């Protein structure tokens, strides 16, 4: 992503990975509507450079509209659903944290596949449990893990995922997630 100034308008480019062209095309109306109508920015897809370009306009009033919109598009490009990524436009304290499974522990081949499988769980059960307990959204893209949520919640989810990668049984992580969700309920 780069932010440049042309005349009085500032613009940013968000790279589109090749595997996200089809989802981008399918979700384009859902992507440009909040950016154009609510953030008052101009948006277009540049097929030659394979980037989405967003630019401020004369109607843009929010000073952070360009950055919020770039984060929204980046979240979609990472694999988050549009309805999850749109929260980045509406809320101020949401962030995205990304890391690779091999950053936690050096693995190859079947060991790496098994670690990713432990994080996902059978039919996504483990991933969904972590998401629901920590109020985050998680995307597993090959060996990459992307987490969307508040700073404290991302830390909790990342801790659970790291334990799974290191070899903790999923039952133990479920118990810890239940305890975390009970503590969060007691706070409110």
Tens-level pLDDT at each residue, the chain (188 residues): 455 554 456 889 999 999 999 999 999 999 989 999 888 999 999 999 999 999 988 888 888 889 999 999 999 999 999 999 999 988 888 999 999 988 888 878 888 888 888 888 888 888 998 998 889 999 998 889 999 999 989 999 999 999 998 888 888 888 887 887 787 777 76
Cβ neighbours, 10 Å, residue 96: 18
pTM of the model: 0.85
| pLDDT at res. 52 | 94
| pLDDT at res. 124 | 86
Q: Where does CATH 3.30.1370.10 sit in the chain?
A: 2-90, 95-187
Element (H, E) at 162: helix 151-166
Query: Which tokens hold the place of 113?
Result: 């596949």
- Measured between alpha carbons, how far is 139 from 77 in angstroms, rounded to an integer? 11
Q: Which residues are CB-neighbours of 73 under 8 A, at least 6 positions away?
A: 14, 31, 35, 52, 54, 85
| pLDDT at res. 121 | 84
| pLDDT at res. 10 | 82
| pLDDT at res. 171 | 83
CATH topology of domain 2-90: Ribosomal Protein S8; Chain: A, domain 1 (3.30.1370)
| pLDDT at res. 72 | 93
For domain 95-187, the CATH class is: alpha beta
Element (H, E) at 52: strand 51-56
Furthest C-alpha separation in the chain: 58
The residue written with tokens 């384009």 in the block is: 28
């Amino acid at each position: 992503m780069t932010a440049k100034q042309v005349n009085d308008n500032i613009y940013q480019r968000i790279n589109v990975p090749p595997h996200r062209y089809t989802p981008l095309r399918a979700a384009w109306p859902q992507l440009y509507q909040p950016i154009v109508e609510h953030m008052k920015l101009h948006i277009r897809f540049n097929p030659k450079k394979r980037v989405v370009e967003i630019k401020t306009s004369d109607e843009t009033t929010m000073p952070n509209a360009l950055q919020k919109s770039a984060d929204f598009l980046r979240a979609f490009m990472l694999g988050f659903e549009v309805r999850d990524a749109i929260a980045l436009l509406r809320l101020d304290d949401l962030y995205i944290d990304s890391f690779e499974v091999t950053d936690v522990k050096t693995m190859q081949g079947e060991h790496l596949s098994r670690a990713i499988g432990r994080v996902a769980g059978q039919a996504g059960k483990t991933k969904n449990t972590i998401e629901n307990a920590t109020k985050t959204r998680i995307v597993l893209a090959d060996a990459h893990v992307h987490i969307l949520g508040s700073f404290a919640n991302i830390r909790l989810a990342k801790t659970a995922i790291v334990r799974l990668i290191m070899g903790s049984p999923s039952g133990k992580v479920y118990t810890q997630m239940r305890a975390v969700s009970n503590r969060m309920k007691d706070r409110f």
